[in-house]
Amino acid sequence: MKKVFFSILLLIVLQAKAQIDPVKYPTYTSVEDAMKSGKTVYSMSFRGKTMFNLPVEIQKFNSIFFLNLMENKFEKMDESIFKLKELTILNLNENSIKYIPDEIAELQKLESFSINLNNLTDINPNVGKLKKLKTIHLDANNLNIFPEALLEIPALEEINLQGNQISFIAKDLDKIKNLKSLNLSGNQINDLGQLEFPKQLKYLELQQNSIAQLPDGLFKSRQLEFLNVSQNNIKEISPKVKGLKNVVSMNLANNQLTDLPAEFSQLKNLKTLILTGNPMDKSTIENLKKIMPETQIYF
């Protein structure tokens, strides 16, 4: 089920990698071909090779910045990976990796780390030493708390933790100063407490949890453009929602909302509002249409 659930996400990741110039940086799919080329090797993909280990010879290609190891049988991160000091993009999706070793800290140039659909139960604190890391994908593992190591990486711009078992989020989330995209959908979150969000946040996905109330800190997110809190247990939205000055799209579907505060009329940039699956009567619906004439509302 997880593979189906995340197929779209994986496609997006692959499309992003495809943007690497194939002429300037040809991607080799075997060590033999790379060695025969006689050229500097920058990009390698061993996708779907049913590998348990990497060929030791890969260590000779010390210019590799892109390595795709998805859809293999790795149970741990092969030690050869940590010899590739120029590595910038690492994809380990769809393996059977149970932990991230201390040596991860040796990849000081790593900017994108994707390790979806593995068997991680926690995240090594040494991940926090990857100061150039901008994107991390940890979808569909077995994590039950927000990885505190990520709080030590202010350069992070995108965090994806979709489809884990997270019930607790670190209160210092706003320490990740440059975070623009956060996906915590499909977890077990029921209480966000007094959580404060990074000021640069633009995309927030919290759908498919058990959240009963949105924290006041969320409504201070002046840069937020896309908010999805559908399929939760939210019964009301605070009038402080007016603080979301730049929100363009908001998905509140399948909650327990019977009405929305009049302050929604102050969200002048709101183009799309999804309210399907909420227990709203006809008079409430008509009133919302009246106070938000420029917003496309779905009931």
pLDDT at position 9, please? 40
pLDDT single digits (tens) 153-187: 999 999 999 999 999 998 899 999 999 999 999 99
Going by pLDDT thresholds of 50, 70 and 90, the confidence category of residue 206 is very high
pLDDT single digits (tens) 267-276: 999 999 999 9
Strand partners, 273: 250, 297
Q: Return mean pLDDT, the chain.
A: 93
Contact 221, 243 (CB under 8 A): yes
- Region 200-222: mean pLDDT is 97
- Region 210-236: mean pLDDT is 97
Domain at 2-248, CATH homologous superfamily: Ribonuclease Inhibitor (3.80.10.10)
Residue 286: other Cβ atoms inside 10 A: 9
Beta pairing class for 66-68 and 296-298: unpaired
Cα–Cα distance measured from residue 210 to residue 31, given in angstroms and rounded to the nearest whole number: 48
- Region 62-87: mean pLDDT is 97
Going by pLDDT thresholds of 50, 70 and 90, the confidence category of residue 19 is low
